[in-house]
Amino acid sequence: MTSMSRARVARRIAAGAAYGGGGVGLAGAAAVGLVLAEVQLARRRVGNGTSPHVPHADGLYGRTYAGPAVAPLRLTMLGDSTAAGQGVHRGGQTPGALLASGLAALAERPVELRTVATPGACSDDLDRQVALVLADPDPVPDICVIMVGANDVTHRMPPTRSVRHLASAVRRLRTAGAEVVVGTCPDLGTIEPVRQPLRWLARRASRQLAAAQTIGVVEQGGRTVSLGDLLGPEFAENPRELFGPDSYHPSAEGYATAAMAVLPSVCASLGLWPAEEERPDASRREGFLPVARAAAEAASEAGTEVAAAMPSGPRGPWALLKRRRRRRVPEQEPAPASPSS
């Protein structure tokens, strides 16, 4: 699917989400019927991704920067098993811990991490997760990171419904005063046991949803980072290294790769990224684009950030597309045994 075609589909999905429609599908019923047996086989081979073990990672990071006059930044992880860190054995290997450690090092401030992400969650669980965050008696998080979408595709949730729940979550968090960065739907066509034609359909569905998610998130004042292609060539070329033992969830190295892609956007949303890197670089094909076109391009290239720019243009809202350079995530501290306050 071309970038322009993906932009048109993403606009239709996002419009359906905004205005209550639900008829835009990710794949035709006939195609789904043809690959039903393949879906069942793939599920048996990769497992259902519902292992209950998620390492505890919540607590205070960057303790060396702590002091009586230094309030910690508050980071909250929402979403599914990818946001929770399912598939690794130690809390310090989870994306939340990696992001908290990296943010603490770059901000030179301690970071308090809280995780409400739930393995197996679809986007409709974000309503519950956001309610947990906003019900907390502590201050609203400075930054919320959401990773969601894979289960929406595998459970065949209508994409308009998926985007509607995500956009609502971003709106509620932004209204409360939190910055929001969303890691969009990963490329499910890279799961090793999945064969053709399911692999092609999974890739198309994943990228369509990721592009539509971007439109919905940017329109509510959040930023997105594409994880799709990040989990593409790198995972396909190194499945034993970048996938965990179940061949479905990322390994520690895979989560570190994802965290490295998201960290610059987290820092930029808090005004912590170098000012010279905030200007679009034409040599890296960065710049201002209609939001649907930016969303479609981002869905095809990992680590690409899309953020709101001008409120409107000849073809609707515009966005800034950034292909941020990846930087090494600082070595994480061991996760504390219990949450710190």
Integer Cα distance of 314 and 295 in angstroms: 17
Q: Buried b / exposed e across 50-75, counting CB within 10 Å, b at 16+?
A: ebeebbbbbbbbbeebeeeeeebbbb
Catalytic residue among 246, 247, 281, 340: 246
Nearest to 189 by CA among 78, 326, 38: 38
At position 103, the amino acid (one-letter code) is: L
Active site residue 249: yes
Active site residue 246: yes
Integer Cα distance of 172 and 220 in angstroms: 9
**CB burial of residue 21 (10 Å; 0-12, 13-18, 19+):** middle
Catalytic residue among 80, 81, 265, 269: 81
**Token reading at 324:** 């941020």
221, 180 contact by CB (below 8 A): yes
Catalytic residue among 229, 249, 265, 300: 249
> In the chain, how long is the greatest CA-to-CA distance?
63
Active site residue 125: no
Strand 73-79 vs strand 179-183: parallel, antiparallel, or unpaired?
Answer: unpaired
**Token reading at 130:** 């956001």
DSSP state of 308: E
Integer Cα distance of 226 and 210 in angstroms: 7
CB count within 10 Å of CB 274 equals 10
* Catalytic residue ranges: 81, 246, 249
